[in-house]
Amino acid sequence: MKQNKLSFESENLVVDYISFKFQDLKDWKEKELASYLLKLGFNCYKESGKLRKPIKTPIFMGLKNIHEACFVVDNPYW
Protein backbone atom coordinates (compact mmCIF):
# COMPACT_ATOMS: atom_id res chain seq x y z
CA MET A 1 0.00 0.00 0.00
CA LYS A 2 1.42 3.37 -1.07
CA GLN A 3 1.30 6.19 1.48
CA ASN A 4 0.99 9.77 0.29
CA LYS A 5 2.97 12.44 2.05
CA LEU A 6 0.52 15.28 2.56
CA SER A 7 1.61 18.85 3.22
CA PHE A 8 0.15 22.32 2.95
CA GLU A 9 2.15 22.87 -0.23
CA SER A 10 1.15 19.61 -1.89
CA GLU A 11 -2.54 20.38 -1.32
CA ASN A 12 -2.22 24.10 -2.19
CA LEU A 13 -3.58 25.10 1.22
CA VAL A 14 -3.16 28.52 2.80
CA VAL A 15 -3.68 29.02 6.53
CA ASP A 16 -5.56 32.19 7.43
CA TYR A 17 -6.14 31.60 11.11
CA ILE A 18 -4.99 29.23 13.80
CA SER A 19 -6.40 29.27 17.31
CA PHE A 20 -5.20 27.54 20.46
CA LYS A 21 -6.85 27.60 23.87
CA PHE A 22 -4.83 26.79 26.95
CA GLN A 23 -6.48 26.26 30.29
CA ASP A 24 -3.24 27.06 32.11
CA LEU A 25 -0.17 28.45 30.35
CA LYS A 26 2.81 29.36 32.52
CA ASP A 27 4.74 32.55 31.67
CA TRP A 28 7.93 30.65 30.79
CA LYS A 29 5.99 28.30 28.49
CA GLU A 30 4.24 31.23 26.82
CA LYS A 31 7.61 32.87 26.11
CA GLU A 32 8.98 29.58 24.77
CA LEU A 33 6.00 29.20 22.44
CA ALA A 34 6.18 32.87 21.39
CA SER A 35 9.91 32.49 20.66
CA TYR A 36 9.17 29.49 18.43
CA LEU A 37 6.41 31.39 16.60
CA LEU A 38 8.76 34.36 16.16
CA LYS A 39 11.19 32.11 14.27
CA LEU A 40 8.29 31.02 12.02
CA GLY A 41 7.53 34.66 11.09
CA PHE A 42 4.95 35.67 13.72
CA ASN A 43 4.91 38.83 15.81
CA CYS A 44 3.56 37.79 19.20
CA TYR A 45 1.30 39.86 21.43
CA LYS A 46 -0.59 39.44 24.68
CA GLU A 47 -4.01 40.96 25.37
CA SER A 48 -6.59 40.75 28.13
CA GLY A 49 -9.87 39.01 27.46
CA LYS A 50 -11.59 41.18 30.07
CA LEU A 51 -11.30 44.52 28.25
CA ARG A 52 -13.92 45.75 25.80
CA LYS A 53 -11.17 47.08 23.50
CA PRO A 54 -8.09 45.01 24.36
CA ILE A 55 -4.65 46.58 24.23
CA LYS A 56 -2.01 44.48 22.49
CA THR A 57 1.19 44.25 24.48
CA PRO A 58 4.16 42.96 22.43
CA ILE A 59 5.87 39.79 23.63
CA PHE A 60 8.28 39.29 20.70
CA MET A 61 8.42 41.16 17.41
CA GLY A 62 10.54 40.84 14.28
CA LEU A 63 10.92 43.59 11.68
CA LYS A 64 10.36 41.22 8.77
CA ASN A 65 7.53 39.19 10.32
CA ILE A 66 4.17 39.59 8.60
CA HIS A 67 2.04 37.17 10.63
CA GLU A 68 0.54 37.72 14.05
CA ALA A 69 -0.09 35.52 17.07
CA CYS A 70 -2.07 36.84 20.01
CA PHE A 71 -2.16 35.28 23.47
CA VAL A 72 -5.46 36.17 25.15
CA VAL A 73 -5.20 36.07 28.95
CA ASP A 74 -7.80 36.54 31.68
CA ASN A 75 -10.50 35.28 29.37
CA PRO A 76 -13.53 34.30 31.44
CA TYR A 77 -14.84 32.01 28.68
CA TRP A 78 -13.45 28.65 27.65
Contact yes or no for 58/45 (Cβ under 8 A): yes
Q: How confident is the model at residue 35 (pLDDT cuts 50, 70, 90)?
A: very high
Cα separation of 55 and 37, whole Å? 20
Is 80 exceeded by the pLDDT of residue 77?
no
More confident residue, 3 or 24: 24
Mean pLDDT of 16-21: 69
What's residue 23's pLDDT?
72
What whole-number percentage of the chain has pLDDT above 70?
79
Q: Looking at the whole model, is its pTM more than 0.75?
A: no
Domain range list for the chain? 27-73
Is 80 exceeded by the pLDDT of residue 20?
no
